[in-house]
């Protein structure tokens, strides 16, 4: 696995696990946040309640203390003793001493109707009136309120026998700091209860009492309201996190602050919730972890199978080389990258030279072996290439982005050298070799299909001009292709327009007597004139037009020669025609229609037609044989493995290729070769004919070797059917039937 794909894989996993991890963390965070918020809310509510409770508690405490004072000065006796008599001893006993002893009031004073102090007590003992001065400011705040309430009180009148007067106490409280101590200062109006004694004037005396708000008082208060660490601090002390209650005087000035540790119920709540919360968090974590583990396995599988699919889609299964799809993709990218002068891309189309023959004769397994070996050799030879791809069959393409023209040339030579080495195999030494077509693109705007087509044209040229070569593309090749294309169109038209005709070349025996003719096709092009069949027949074979062309030949030959007697007729049939299922049936139909005798006709096949172990070809051949046709092996000696073909198919005749005949005059090994061929034919009991016989010396050479039939310019040029009839004489033809020469 490459670094890149590893990185890719990590990235894919991260993309999957990121959300899971994020979600888990998010949920955990939310849990913590919600808990924190709840705790805070919980505590805030609790502290607000406590605040309220302390405030109320303090108020009730003051009310209770007020009641104690009111009891002492709110009865007829108090009116009598304080208002009427200003009796200090009474005040000592009922006020100063009593309040100090039972409730801790340290100071008690009584002021008269003019608010002048006439009694003072400190810690339960009589004190000097001067003590009042320190409390006067606090008293001055309270007294106006008392006097005001007193003035609006319903008039007091004795109600003999009616019991209590039911007068609510008139009191006021304030808080004051006196000599560094915080006091609760209370003013209480002296009032009757049953009315036995009524105030002397409209203004009764007022008791001023002071209770220190100190540790002793607070501890009782704290015990009652379950407050922790209750203290009093000077002024408006603010301590964050603590419960506070600011004590103010009547003018709303802050005098002191009660401070305590607030109760935090959240702590208890948290204590209880912690374990379940932790459990939930752990569970969540485990869940996420198992999810990640499972999906990791799934993702790994997915990535692997995706990589496999990708590899399959872009690689050839046999050689594992990149395939056509990948080639196009890379070529597209390389061509698109050409932007500056000096940028170039070399495209080398490599085609094996003898692959088809090996595949056809030795089978697909041998073919696969050749392809695999070729792939391995290409990898070695093109180590610096950008891409080596297999297009299919025996076609490979090498892309090179660095190599300049010379580089491509060198690379091509390396490839040819590498592939020309024989392949040792269980089938023996396989000689393959290759041809290469190369194009070097150095300008932008070229499409991959165009580049490949150019390289392919160059390859075609390599194949045409002898194999094992590298050819560079030149624009003229494109023009040649264009003209081939137009020729193809013209040939189609020629078929329809009747520009094709047949000529017949005599085949003679030792005495020069015509025993047979070979039917040859001629095309007179309206503009180009005569186009040789060497040009248009291969073209027709490539384009598939040969099937129509072949049918035309059969029809025409049967029509023109059907009435001849004794003279045999050889017809050239292309390998492509033989590969068509039903070709034998077509010939049978045409023969029956023309009422010809198949025994008078010989089909000339080249070795390429017989080489393939194609079952259709074999079927057609045996069917045609059953009909009575004989077979001649054309161009004998030029093919790949003549002997094996001769053994496999029982042909009736071999036709020694004219290339051997033309060399006969030069002497040398040609004579030996021709001699061997003839001997071979005799050994196999086959008839032999030599074609392309142009001179008497060739003829006599051949005759000396044992050849008995000859065809060539020496004994007769190809001629129209009428000329043949003139030569062989009317005796050799049956009465002419009304058979049209043209379709």
Question: Which residue ranges make up the site for Ca ion (CB under 5 A)?
Answer: 572, 604, 634-635
Helix %, strand %, coil % for the chain, to 5? Answer: 50, 20, 25
Q: At its nearest, how many Å lie between ligand C2E and the CB of residue 648?
A: 21
User: Binds 381, which of ligand C2E, Ca ion, none (CB < 5 to 8 A, cut-off by type)?
Assistant: none
Joined together, the tokens standing for residue 683 give 């050994």
Residue 520 binds: one of ligand C2E, Ca ion, none (C-beta under 5 to 8 A by kind): ligand C2E
Q: What is the largest distance, in Å, between two alpha-carbon atoms of the chain?
A: 191
66 binds, among Ca ion, ligand C2E, none (CB under 5 to 8 A by kind): none
What are the backbone dihedrals phi and psi of residue 372, each rounded to the nearest 5 degrees, phi first?
Answer: -65, -45
Q: Which residue's C-beta sits nearest to Ca ion?
A: 604
Which of 412, 322, 434, 419 lies closest to 373, judged by CA?
419
Closer residue to ligand C2E (CB): 174 or 577? 577
End-to-end Cα separation, the chain, in angstroms: 68
Choose between 326 and 537: whose C-beta lies nearer to ligand C2E. 537
Contact partner, 694, from Ca ion, ligand C2E, none, Cβ < 5-8 Å per class: ligand C2E
Token pair of 37 as six digits? 């918020």
The Cα 207–Cα 416 span in angstroms is: 131
Of 108 and 574, CB closest to ligand C2E = 574
Nearer to Ca ion by Cβ, of 319 and 608: the residue is 608
Quick one: residue 706, left, alpha or beta (phi over 0 = left, psi -120 to 50 = alpha)?
Answer: left
Residue 553: which of Ca ion, ligand C2E, none does it interact with, CB under 5 to 8 A by kind? ligand C2E
Least distance in Å: CB of 569 to ligand C2E?
11
Least Å from the CB of residue 635 to Ca ion: 4
Choice between 260 and 523, CB closer to ligand C2E: 523
CA dist 655 to 297, 632, 682, Å? 70, 7, 13
| Gap between the Cα atoms of 494 and 546, Å rounded | 13
- To ligand C2E, the closest distance from the beta carbon of 542 in angstroms equals 13
β-pair partners for 392:
395
Instruction: Return the structure tokens found at 472.
Output: 């560079």
Q: Whose structure tokens read 């006709």? A: 601
Report how far residue 74's alpha carbon sits from residue 626's, in angstroms, rounded to the nearest whole number.
Answer: 154
Residues 6+ apart with CB under 8 A from 31: 277, 280, 281
Backbone φ and ψ of 675, nearest 5°: -60, -45
Q: Using CA atoms, how far apart are residues 186 and 65, in angstroms rounded to an integer?
A: 9
Write down the least CB distance from residue 692 to Ca ion, Å.
8
50 touches which of Ca ion, ligand C2E, none (CB within 5 to 8 A by kind)?
A: none
State the binding partner of 72 from Ca ion, ligand C2E, none, CB within 5 to 8 A by kind. Answer: none
Tokens describing residue 113: 């109707």
Closest contact distance (angstroms) between CB of 394 and ligand C2E is: 25
Pick between residue 458 and residue 661 the one whose CB is nearest to ligand C2E.
Answer: 661
Q: Based on CB atoms, which residue is closest to ligand C2E, 264 or 522?
A: 522
195 binds, among ligand C2E, Ca ion, none (CB under 5 to 8 A by kind): none
Applying CB under 6 A, the residues found at the interface with ligand C2E are: 505, 519-521, 532-534, 537, 553, 572-574, 604, 634-635, 658, 691-694, 712-713, 718
Shorter beta-carbon distance to ligand C2E: residue 109 or 504:
504
Q: In whole angstroms, how close is the CB of 690 to Ca ion at the nearest point? A: 10
Pick between residue 256 and residue 539 the one whose CB is nearest to ligand C2E: 539
Residue 380 phi/psi, 5-degree rounding, is -70, -45
Shortest distance in whole angstroms from residue 742 CB to Ca ion: 23
- From 148, 153, 111, 155, select the one nearest 133 (Cα to Cα): 111
* CB 549 to ligand C2E: min, Å: 7
Pairing assessment for the beta strands 434-441 and 470-472 based on DSSP bridges: parallel
């Amino acid at each position: 696995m490459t670094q890149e794909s590893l990185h890719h894989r990590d990235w894919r996993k991260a993309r999957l696990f990121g959300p899971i991890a994020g979600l888990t963390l998010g949920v955990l965070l939310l849990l913590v946040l919600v808990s924190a918020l709840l705790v805070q809310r919980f505590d805030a509510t609790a502290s607000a309640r406590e605040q309220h409770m302390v405030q109320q508690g303090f108020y009730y405490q003051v009310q209770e203390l007020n009641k104690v004072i009111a009891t002492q000065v709110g009865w007829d006796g108090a009116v009598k003793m304080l208002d009427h008599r200003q009796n200090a001893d009474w005040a000592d006993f009922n006020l100063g001493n009593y309040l100090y002893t039972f409730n801790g009031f340290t100071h008690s004073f009584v002021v008269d109707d003019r608010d002048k102090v006439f009694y003072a007590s400190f810690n339960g003992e009589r004190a000097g009136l001067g003590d009042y001065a320190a409390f006067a400011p606090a008293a001055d705040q309270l007294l106006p309120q008392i006097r005001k309430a007193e003035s609006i009180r319903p008039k007091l009148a004795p109600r003999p026998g009616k019991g209590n007067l039911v007068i609510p106490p008139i009191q006021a409280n304030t808080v004051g700091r006196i000599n560094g101590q915080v006091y609760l200062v209370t003013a209480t109006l002296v009032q009757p209860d049953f009315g036995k004694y009524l105030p002397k004037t409209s203004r009764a005396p007022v008791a001023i009492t002071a209770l220190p708000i100190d540790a002793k008082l607070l501890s009782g208060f704290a015990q009652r309201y379950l407050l922790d660490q209750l203290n009093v601090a000077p002024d408006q002390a603010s301590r964050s996190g603590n419960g506070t209650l600011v004590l103010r005087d009547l003018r709303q000035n802050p005098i002191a602050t009660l401070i305590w540790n607030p109760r935090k119920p959240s702590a208890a709540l948290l204590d209880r919730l912690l374990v379940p919360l932790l459990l939930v968090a752990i569970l969540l974590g485990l869940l996420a972890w198992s999810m990640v583990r499972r999906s990791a396995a799934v993702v790994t599988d997915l990535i692997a199978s995706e990589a496999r699919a990708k590899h399959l889609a872009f690689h050839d299964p046999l050689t594992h080389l990149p395939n056509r799809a990948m080639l196009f993709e890379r070529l597209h990218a390389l061509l698109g990258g050409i932007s500056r002068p000096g940028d170039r891309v070399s495209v080398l189309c490599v085609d094996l030279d003898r692959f088809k023959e090996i595949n056809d004769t030795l089978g697909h397994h041998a073919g696969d072996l050749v392809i695999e070996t070729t792939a391995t050799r290409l990898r070695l030879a093109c180590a610096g290439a950008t891409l080596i791809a297999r297009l299919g069959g025996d076609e490979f393409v090498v892309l090179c982005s660095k190599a300049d023209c010379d580089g491509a040339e060198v690379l091509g030579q390396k490839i040819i050298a590498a592939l020309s080495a024989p392949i040792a195999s269980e089938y023996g030494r396989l000689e393959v070799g290759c041809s290469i077509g190369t194009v070097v693109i150095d300008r932008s705007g070229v499409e991959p299909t165009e580049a490949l087509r150019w390289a392919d044209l160059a390859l075609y040229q390599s194949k045409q001009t002898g194999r094992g070569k590298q050819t560079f593309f030149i624009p003229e090749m494109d023009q040649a292709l264009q003209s081939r294309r137009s020729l193809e169109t013209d040939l189609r038209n020629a078929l329809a327009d009747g520009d094709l005709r047949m000529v017949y070349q005599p085949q003679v025996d030792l005495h020069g007597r015509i025993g047979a003719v070979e039917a040859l096709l001629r095309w007179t092009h309206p503009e180009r004139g005569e186009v040789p069949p060497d040009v248009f027949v291969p073209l027709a074979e490539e384009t598939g037009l040969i099937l129509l062309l072949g049918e035309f030949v059969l029809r025409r030959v049967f029509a023109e020669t059907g009435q001849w007697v004794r003279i045999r007729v050889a017809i050239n049939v292309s390998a492509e025609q033989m590969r068509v299922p039903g070709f034998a049936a077509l010939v049978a139909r045409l023969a029956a229609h023309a009422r010809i005798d198949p025994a008078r006709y010989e089909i000339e096949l080249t070795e390429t037609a017989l080489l393939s172990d194609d079952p259709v070809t074999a079927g057609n051949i045996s069917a045609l044989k059953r009909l009575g046709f004989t077979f001649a092996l054309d161009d004998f000696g030029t093919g790949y493995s003549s002997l094996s073909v001769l053994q496999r198919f029982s042909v009736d005749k071999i036709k020694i290729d004219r290339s051997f005949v033309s060399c006969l005059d030069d002497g040398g090994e040609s004579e030996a070769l021709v001699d061997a061929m003839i001997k071979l034919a005799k050994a196999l009991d086959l008839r032999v004919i030599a074609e392309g016989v142009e001179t008497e010396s060739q003829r006599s050479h051949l005759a000396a070797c044992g050849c008995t039939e000859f065809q060539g310019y020496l004994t007769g040029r190809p001629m129209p059917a009428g000329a043949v009839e003139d030569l062989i004489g009317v005796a050799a033809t049956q009465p002419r039937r009304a058979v049209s020469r043209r379709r």
